[in-house]
Structure 1
Amino acid sequence: MTYPAYPAYPGPPHPGTLPPGHTVELVTDEDAFAALAPQWRRLYGRCAAATPFQSHAWLLSWWRSYGSAGRLRLVLAREGRELVAAAPLMCVRSPVPALVPLGGAISDYGDVLLDDERGPDAEAALTAGLAALARTALVDLREVRPGAAAERLYARWRGPRYRLADSLCLELPALPMDGLVARLPSAKARQRVRAQLRRLDALGVKSRPVLPDEADAAVRRLLDLHRLQWRGRKVTGEHLRPRFREHLVRAVAPMVRTGDAVVTEFRMADEVVAVDVTLLSHRMAGGYLYGAHPRLRERRADVAVMLLDACAEYARAPGRSTLSLLRGDEPYKHHWRPERVPNQRLLLARRRTAPLLAAVLADAAARRRGKELLRRRAERKEHDGGGG
């Protein structure tokens, strides 16, 4: 069986699958995507599960930096003229023809948008739109957070489907810094953090959220500091590339204006020594990226404590219950006793595309076995004293 390289709508959803008054459309043009901004913003505001990685500013900016012509696939559901659901997707050809979320590897969460006020009708309309596309490609929703809107589509799906574990995220409760310190496992650990907070005060480190008109310059400074702090050390290479710089600068300023992000400057003796971007949603705040001058560590300032102290304040807004440390299982995060919250990978197919689902599951199983073999080999080497 062959599949098209870049799936288009192989036909609209059957009218009987759509709730009365609802329509589904497919947007494949970047200019049309850009023009959706006001409608997208309204829908985003009515989807409590949405994260900033589903905001229009983040997704459009990502597409302009990372997208490829001809691959954009936005599935939109409307009730009358009102946008009530959206799935921001793109086509990929390898390893199988699939529709994957916009945002890629630099986005910690993938999801769809569903109007909570429209309930099951919005879910049904978007599910019908995705089912039409799934005739020629696998729908592969990566990095879906537990409780995400995409879980409601998965529950409705009538064709072949499968749920896999995806990246691990670590989360803390939205508490003031004193509350986070109180959760630490020992008196010694609590004393150490309080001493670090006093050290930051003694050094005269002050923080402030920048104004929207200052955000562009602040993000550029963040990226410069990020490059400086990691000089000569292993770093995520993508964060140093021009396309990432262009994306982050372009996305964050409008997100600051709409309250989906806050950029914090940290000053010492009137010099900016660190900048942090924290992303904000209805339910969570999450520190996304920071840059810190090596001088802070030279002065024995604990940068992690400094950043968490600021982020904890933003997480305390009404309705927010989570301070997310986002993806990654780094040891320093576990110092704070976070909850381990694995993301999910939701795979959706039709009978005709079930072989694509089977191929992806086989590939995932092989990767899991490979990782397990590498883990066991490393354990044996450690047990044998590092011998080959």
Structure 2
Amino acid sequence: MLRSEIIDDAAGLEALGPHWWELWSRSPSATPFQSPAWLVPWWRTFAPGELATVAVWRGDDLVGLAPLYLECQEAGARLLPLGISLSDYLDVLCLPEIAEPVGAVIAGSVLSIGWSQWILPDLPAGGAGLAIRHAALETCQAVGHAACPVLSLTGDETLLSCVPARRRRQLRRAHRAASRRGRVSIEPVLSDPQTFLDHLIRLHRARWAGHGDGVLSDSRVEEFHRQALPQLVAQALARCWLVAIGGAIVGAYYGFHHRGRAYAYLGGFDPAYAEESPGALLIGQAISQAICEGAEDFDFLRGQEAYKYSWGAVDRWTLRKIWTRSKGR
């Protein structure tokens, strides 16, 4: 027997922690962006509306979770997923063997909330949210939402089998140019997440100074990452690298690794070292390490920036679904 509850306060959301992690580990389409390490700090930092998260239980086991909130506008309230904007993938969680009944229970529960549109953007292919159906809901056809260029990983850490020759030559030139300025060191940083974030924030702001200043110029985004990263590190999900040239830390890479997939989330570099391409050096290192860890894909996440395709990445699209209430419901 399945039962549901609507969680409308932060304490209730945080109390789900151990059950949430267990469900997340068993949900096939889950990414780091659906983990409590990511979404609880997001809600704690931003809380842009009224919390309306649906939890589905079978006995004492959490078997479904739709982390949602209600955004009230003059045109009508919208039901949206936690993590929107900063998350490249969004979805609900459920056990695969009971996905259909769990989806129906989630849909039935959200009908008790006053909204005019329920929107799930950035759903991954095969996402659990794509299968939600209910007689009292009308849904639009799932449509492409955002391109996430992905590099398929083959071969070994030399990158010979998966990265185009031109990009490998550029990487060798970057190494030589960097070496002319001093010793080059690319090291993982996981023992001190806050110090890593200090470097990332400094370098990201330097990179984007005068060009919109970058996402980390928002103090709330900084606070979110300062809460989330230590938890991601504790769960072995984060991959953080710094590159130093001649003793100066000039580049930072912030990514994830989960279930055979590496994710390149955020980076920054000192513009004074642009000729040495510290960003490329870090991505090359991240790809090599992902191969060593058995990853099959290197996901550059949302955005069609040209540099992603120079590594050999190919677009994979997320999907968006919108539900409205059936007439008379």
State the TM-score, normalized to the length of structure 2. Answer: 0.89
Conserved in 1, the CA contact under 8 Å of 2:184 and 2:245? Answer: yes
Correspondence 1:110-121 to 2 at 5 A: 110-116=90-96, 119-120=97-98
* Aligned equivalent of 1:149: 128
State the identity as a percent: 26
Q: Aligned partners of 2:5, 2:217: CA distance in 1, in Å? A: 37
Task: Give the aligned partner of residue 286 of structure 2.
Answer: 311
Pick the structure with more strand per residue: 2
SS of 1:50's partner is coil
Cα–Cα, structure 1 residues 195 and 181, in superposed 2: closer, same or farther, change >3 Å?
farther
Superposed counterparts of 1:94-113, under 5 Å: 94=73, 95-113=75-93
Residue in structure 2 matched with residue 266 of structure 1 by the alignment: 243
Match of 1:206 among 185, 206, 211: 185
- 1:362-383 CA-to-partner distances (Å, cap 9, x unmatched) read xxxxxxxxxxxxxxxxxxxxxx
CA spacing shift, 1:224–1:192, aligned 2, 3 Å: closer
Task: Kindly report which structure 2 residues correspond to 1:114-263, keeping only aligned pairs within 5 A, or say none.
Answer: 114-116=94-96, 119-120=97-98, 122-134=99-111, 136-137=114-115, 138-153=117-132, 156-158=133-135, 159-162=137-140, 163-175=142-154, 176-179=156-159, 183-184=163-164, 188-200=166-178, 203-212=182-191, 214-236=192-214, 238-263=215-240
Provide the secondary structure at the position in 1 that maps to 2:318.
strand
Q: Give the Cα–Cα distance (whole angstroms) in 2 for the partners of residues 332 and 110 of structure 1.
A: 25
Residue in 2 aligned with 1:369? none
2:276 equivalent to 1:276: no
Unaligned runs of 5+ in 2: none
Greater Cα radius of gyration, structure 1 or 2: 1
Partner Cα distance (2:328, 2:234) in 1: 42
Deviation at 1:198, TM superposition (A): 4.3
Where 2:85 maps in the other structure, the secondary structure is: helix
Q: Is the 8 A contact 1:134 1:349 kept in 2?
A: no
* From 76, 93, 96, the counterpart of 2:55: 76
The 8 Å contact of residues 41 and 228 in structure 2, kept in 1 or not, is answered as: yes
Query: Does the aligned pair in 2 maintain the 1:287–1:324 contact within 8 Å?
Result: yes
SS in 1 for 2:20: helix
Deviations along 1:319-375, one digit per CA (max 9) or x if unpaired, are: 632211111111222212311112111122331489xxxxxxxxxxxxxxxxxxxxx
Structure with greater proportional helix content: 1
Does structure 2 conserve the Cα–Cα contact (< 8 Å) formed by 1:75 and 1:130? Answer: no
* Structure 1 contact 76–126 (Cα < 8 Å) conserved: no
CA distance in 1, matches of 2:147, 2:161: 23
CA contact (8 A) 2:171 2:284 kept: no
Residue equivalent to 2:269 = 292
The reply to whether residue 44 of structure 1 matches residue 19 of structure 2 is no
Change (3 A) 1:192 1:226: closer
Residues 150 and 316 from structure 1, CA distance in 2 versus in 1: closer, same or farther, beyond 3 angstroms?
farther
Who is 1:382 aligned against?
A: none
For this pair of structures, how many residues does the alignment match?
322
- In structure 2, relative to structure 1, the CA distance for the partners of 1:188 and 1:58 (3 Å cut) is closer
Change beyond 3 A, Cα 1:45–1:180: farther
Match of 1:322 in 2: 297
In structure 2, what is the Cα distance between the partners aligned to 1:228 and 1:189? 25
In 2, Cα distance between equivalents of 1:317 and 1:45: 22
